[in-house]
Amino acid sequence: MIALNWFDVIPVATSVVFIFLVQVFNVYWHILTDDNAEDIEKITCLPVDTSATTPSSSLSSANVIANGNGKLEKQASILDTDSHEDEDTLSLENLFPCDQTEIYASKKISFIIDELIQTEVNYVANLRKGLSNYGKLQDCEHLPDGLRGEERQKQLLSNISEILELHEREILPLMLRNQRDLKGLFDEFAAHFEKNHLYCYVTFTMGKKSSMQLRQEHREWLQNYQTSIKDKLGIDSFLVQPIQRLTRYPLLLQQFISEFYKSGISCKPVLSAVCKLETRLRRQLDVVNQAEEIPNIDELNEFDLLQQGHFRRATEFEAQHFPTRKKYRAKVFLFDRCLVCTEVRKRRLAYRQHYNWEHVELQRPLELATSNATKTITLLVKLDKGGGKREEYSFVAAEASVVKQWLQATHKIIEIARYEYARRDTFSLPMDLVLGVGLSIWLIWQYL
């Protein structure tokens, strides 16, 4: 038996009480931040008295994303079925492992999986070789001045080293260790999208234009350098591989799904996992393609798009700017910190305005608020004086489905903003640190 006395119990009890008080404080602080997060939640469309807006609009507002209490329970009224169209089917069949033997018995499916893994091996090897060829140009004696310096090197190759690191340390190893567990392979791959690890492809695409311009300016020197190192493909072929690889993933998965159905295989957990991954890849590819237009935005002056957080989506609308009564074809870019409006002018985009999320609301026509047929969104801006609002923009999409997808993307940004706001200034201690301190106090008390 271990004899305990009050001197042994008090330090441990004090530590437990301290941990409990920290957690209670965190919960209390979280409730306060939810109540004070009204500025962040003004993104959403709450019912607004139309008399507070300019008379130029006959639209009244309807709840788009949040209800009047600033909660997100009623988002399904707009986002409904498409919000989780790619999630795993909630059935018992997907909760338990299935026999994957019949999958590997199909020669065509086995060939597709082998191609997926082998091309990944080749992709990593090609990126590694390309970086060894062009990643150390600063060591060349006769390097042109226009290619000298770390900034020029980054402009030339963008973040391709980050892409190589992701695939070399994460993607390729997960494929190799899950060769006989396809559900594990697809689920682990999809988890990287949830963690936004493949955003590096968006960053790479945003730097594509400046890289091409720099290569064009020094084309002759780069060709001579290519000959000197006996590189058969060249830097252009090297730098096009990331986008080619990202495009190849969904094509291979579509082949896998097609053969899965043709073979009559009944392993639904694997099918659900591969469909989820294929959807994630297609969505990521859409964002990457849209990001290619960001460098085409002119007239930014001192506004830096790179400081606005992650790029999420670009959508084209017919826009009307109420203060100037100007109508034009617009492309609206969604970033984590703001919404950017541009005017489409042939092959370029002219910057017009940007609005931080905490200063805007989005509205739809009241008569269409409960349906999915609306093509119109009204953007309102908070006024500093009096707490009122004014109508700023009316966006009209070509199809109602475009509006729905745009609102889904906006909703995700809202959730991120609310989470970051709730986490701000939260006092929290790691549990292992607290327990370690408690144990140290007990040992000191026991033996001193």
Bridge partners for 328 per DSSP: 319
Query: Looking at the 3D structure of the chain, how many domains does it have?
Result: 2
CATH of the domain at 358: 2.30.29.30
Residue after which a domain boundary falls, among 292, 311, 345: 292
Residue after which a domain boundary falls, among 292, 327, 355: 292
Pairing of strands 338-345, 348-356: antiparallel
Whether 129 and 234 share a structural domain: yes
Whether 306 and 240 share a structural domain: no
Domain that holds residue 243: 98-292
Contacts of 305 (CB under 8 A, 6+ apart): 294, 297, 333, 335, 340
Whether 128 and 234 share a structural domain: yes
Helix (H, G, I), strand (E, B) or coil at 345: strand
C-alpha to C-alpha distance for 161 and 31, rounded to whole angstroms: 42
Is 196 part of a structural domain of the chain?
yes
| Residue 4, pLDDT score | 54
Whether 257 and 348 share a structural domain: no
Tell me how long the chain is. 448
Chain position carrying tokens 């492809």: 201
Residues in the chain with pLDDT < 70?
1-12, 15-16, 19-20, 22-97, 99, 365-373, 385-387, 417-418, 420-439, 442-448
Whether 388 and 362 share a structural domain: yes
Bridge partners for 329 per DSSP: 318
C-alpha to C-alpha distance for 50 and 256, rounded to whole angstroms: 53
Whether 359 and 220 share a structural domain: no
Q: Do residues 137 and 147 lie in contact, with contact meaning Cβ atoms separated by under 8 Å?
A: yes
Whether 314 and 234 share a structural domain: no
Whether 166 and 180 share a structural domain: yes
| Residue 117, pLDDT score | 96
Whether 303 and 246 share a structural domain: no
Whether 271 and 157 share a structural domain: yes
C-alpha to C-alpha distance for 107 and 112, rounded to whole angstroms: 9
C-alpha to C-alpha distance for 48 and 28, rounded to whole angstroms: 30
| Residue 226, pLDDT score | 94
Of the candidates 152, 195, 145, the one whose C-alpha atom is nearest the C-alpha of residue 170 is 195
C-alpha to C-alpha distance for 358 and 380, rounded to whole angstroms: 11
CA distances from 437 to 11, 18, 19, 432 (A): 10, 11, 11, 9
Chain position carrying tokens 């590189």: 231
Whether 275 and 374 share a structural domain: no
| Residue 405, pLDDT score | 85
Is 20 part of a structural domain of the chain?
no
| Residue 430, pLDDT score | 61
| Residue 383, pLDDT score | 77
Of the candidates 110, 433, 147, the one whose C-alpha atom is nearest the C-alpha of residue 259 is 110
Is 93 part of a structural domain of the chain?
no
Which residue type does 64 have?
Answer: V
Assigned token pair, 80: 């409904």
Q: pLDDT of 184-239, one tens digit each? A: 999 999 999 989 999 999 999 999 999 999 999 999 999 999 999 999 989 999 99
> How high does pLDDT run on average in the chain?
79
